[in-house]
Amino acid sequence: MTELTSRQHMLAAIFLAKSELAIEDKEWRDVVISITGRRNCAEASDAELRRLLAALTRSGAGGRRPATSPSQAEKPQDEGSRLRGLLAEIAEIAGRDAAIRLARAKGGGEKVYIPAPENLFVDHWLVAALGWKAALRIARAYGPDRINIPLGPAAFRRPRAREALRDALAEGSSIAEAARRAGVSERTARRRRRERVIEDAGEPKRRRSAGVG
C-alpha cells in the first residue's frame, strides 16, 4: 500500500509540474517518450517517473528556474533592442526569453542541429539551455534540421555580430541571409556589403602605391 501511495504522489507531482510549465497535451507525449521511453506515465517504472519529475523540476517546475550558466544569469529584458529575423520567429514560437537564451548558447557559430521532438533527451543542449517546454516548441518548428542561430540583441552581440556579418558576406550569402545569421537588420547588412565593395575596390590601388604586385 505504501508503494502505491508513493507512486500516486509522484504522479500527482508530475502532472502538477506539467501544469506549471504549461506543457500542452500534444507536447506532453513527446516529453514522456524522450525521458522514459514509454508512451505514457502509466507504463513507466517508478525510476523512470523519478527521472521525468527531476527533468521537469530542472526545467522550472516547483518554482525553480531552468539552470543557466553565469553568463545567462542577466535578465533578458536588460538586453535592449527588439529581436529580428530568426530570433523574432523563435520568440513568437517559444518566447523572448527562450530566443535570447538560444542566442547566448549557440548564436553566431556554425549551423546547429535541431532534432525532431521525439529525439530530445534530458541532457540535450537545447533542453539544458531552454527547458523542456521551449525546447519542444523549437524542435517542432525547426527539427530535424540544421539552422544558423543569430547573435541576438545589440547590447551583448556587437563585436560578434560584425564578425558573423563579415563571414556571411564573404561566403556569398544574400543580404537577407547574412542579416538573419548576424541578427542585424537588412539595412545594416546592405551597408556593410557596400563598405566591403568599396574596401575591395581600393585594395589594388593601395597595393600599387605600396609597390606590391
Task: Check residue 79 and give its pLDDT.
Answer: 43
Q: State the Rg of the chain over Cα.
A: 22
**What is the tens place of the pLDDT at every residue in 106-129?**
877 678 999 988 788 877 899 888
Amino acid found at 175? I
Compute the distance between CA of residue 125 and CA of residue 111 in angstroms, rounded to an integer.
14
What is the per-residue DSSP string for the chain?
-HHHHHHHHHHHHHHHHHHHTT--HHHHHHHHHHHHSSSSGGGS-HHHHHHHHHHHHHTTGGGPPPP--GGG-S-GGGG-SPP-HHHHHHHHHH-HHHHHHHHHHHTTSS-EEE--GGG--TT-HHHHHH-HHHHHHHHHHH-SEEEPPP---HHHHHHHHHHHHHHHHHTT--HHHHHHHHT--HHHHHHHHHHHHHHHHHHHHHHHHTT--
Of the listed ranges 31-45, 76-90, 158-172, the least confidently predicted one is 76-90
Would the pTM of this model clear 0.95, i.e. be above it? Answer: no
Compute the distance between CA of residue 213 and CA of residue 203 in angstroms, rounded to an integer.
11
Take residue 174 and report the three cell numbers written for it: 544574400
Share the mean pLDDT of the chain: 77
Task: Give residue 45's pLDDT band: very low, low, confident or very high (50, 70, 90).
Answer: very high
The candidate with the shortest Cα–Cα distance to 147, out of 95, 118, 109, is: 109
**What is the tens place of the pLDDT at every residue in 49-82?**
998 888 888 777 665 544 444 344 444 444 445 7
Q: Which contacts (CB < 8 Å, 24+ apart) does range 91-97 have?
A: 93/137, 93/138, 93/141, 94/130, 94/133, 94/134, 94/137, 94/138, 95/134, 97/134
- The domain spans of the chain are 2-63, 78-147, 154-209
